[in-house]
Amino acid sequence: MLKLVLIVAALLAIAIVVFRSRRASAREDSTGILPVASPGSSEDGDALALGELGKLSDLSKVHRVEFFVYLPSESAAREAAQRIGARGFTVEVRPGAKSKDWLCLAVKPMVPELEALRRIRADFDELAGSLGGEYDGWGSPVVR
C-alpha cells in the first residue's frame, strides 16, 4: 500500500509541476492537494512523504495541511469533528467517497514538521479507533 501511495504521490507531483509550468500567472500556492501520507504509512511513511513534499514545496512556509478521518456514521463523524475542532483545527463533515463512510476533514495551517505530523497521526489514529473509524492520512497543496 505504501508503494502505491508513493507512486500516486510522485505522479501527482509531476502533474502539478507540469501544470504549473504551463500557467502564465502561477500563484504561490497550489489549488490541488498533494496526497502524501495514508493509513498504511507509519511514522516512517510520514517522513518519506514529507521528503517527497519537500521536493516540490518550501517546507519552511505555512501549508494548508488536510487530515482525513473516516467514520462509520454521521454521528461518529460529528463527534470526531467536535473533538478535533477543540484542538484548533477547522473541520468539515461530509459523506465519504464510499457510500457507507463519513469523512471528517480536518484542516490546519501549519509548517509541515515531522514530529508535529507524527503527533497528529497518533492522536487521530486513537480518536478514529475509539469511534470505530480510520485515520486516512494527510495531504497538502504545494507552497513555493
Amino acid in position 62: V
Range of the domain at 19: 2-140
Number of Cβ atoms within 10 Å of the Cβ of 87: 13
Q: What is the pTM of this model?
A: 0.73
- The torsion region of residue 69 among left (phi > 0), alpha (psi -120 to 50) and beta comes to beta
Higher per-residue confidence, 129 vs 37: 129
Q: Choose among 144, 75, 62, 76: nearest CA to 107.
A: 62
C-alpha cell at 56: 516540490
pLDDT, tens only, 24-82 = 222 223 335 555 565 454 558 799 889 999 999 999 999 999 999 999 999 999 999 99
Q: The CATH number of the domain where 27 resides is what?
A: 3.30.70.970
Q: Which 3 state secondary structure label does DSSP give 85?
A: helix
Q: How many domains does the chain have?
A: 1
Q: Which 3 state secondary structure label does DSSP give 102?
A: strand
Q: Choose among 127, 141, 138, 133: nearest CA to 47.
A: 138
